[in-house]
Chains A and B, each alone.
Chain A
């Protein structure tokens, strides 16, 4: 069965420090993986996706994600966090006709 897991409900980091938001997945075929960010009372904004090719994917606002097939993971990273990065982050996988979303991770970046 297809699924996406975000093991951390919340991640706290200090501004300027690197951040990682974790995601693992389970799909029957090739994984098409996505990260989205949601600010309060807003819809989801697309950050980046992995379809094929380089395992390190670069996206919007300085975010990147590393695809690891052996660990079935697609962790979101940023070298230096900003207070404005504080938001809710969702990992998603597209399998055949459907998108499957993780439960979301709240990122708190403290000044």
Chain B
């Protein structure tokens, strides 16, 4: 079974631009979460999608947004990029979502975004 895939793997953008990252979950997984990883802040939760609906959101500004499609693939968008947005963006998928779920999250390789 194929793992979580993320495209592109590397991106270089300049301040003020916008960017879209893509994530394809493991087949059969319907929950997709996004994280930002930086050396200083560690892993920070961005948002989670399940059945095309955002179920949870972290403490990030509105410049960070996402969506999920009917095939469970997800995209996240960052508008008006800032230098501080440079990070590794990780996508993770799991089968189910909900307070009683004990499912494991499986991570993709990440997209390395550099903002110049």
Give the B-binding residues of A (Cβ under 8 A). Answer: 32, 34, 36, 41-46, 49, 51, 90, 94, 96-99, 101-104
Could you tell me the distance between the alpha carbons of A49 and B112 in the complex, rounded to whole angstroms? Answer: 27
Could you tell me the distance between the alpha carbons of A53 and B108 in the complex, rounded to whole angstroms? Answer: 29
Residues of chain A within 8 A of B106, CB atoms compared:
46
B87 to chain A, nearest CB (A): 13
Give the A-binding residues of B (Cβ under 8 A). Answer: 4, 6, 33, 35, 42-43, 45, 48, 55-56, 90, 92, 97-99, 101-102, 104-110, 112
Of all chain A residues, the one with the shortest Cβ separation from B110 is A43
B99 to chain A, nearest CB (A): 4
Q: Are B108 and A97 interface neighbours, CB within 8 A?
A: no
B50 to chain A, nearest CB (A): 9
Q: Are B104 and A34 interface neighbours, CB within 8 A?
A: yes
The 6 nearest A-B residue pairs measured at CB:
A43-B107, A44-B107, A101-B43, A96-B99, A43-B109, A103-B42
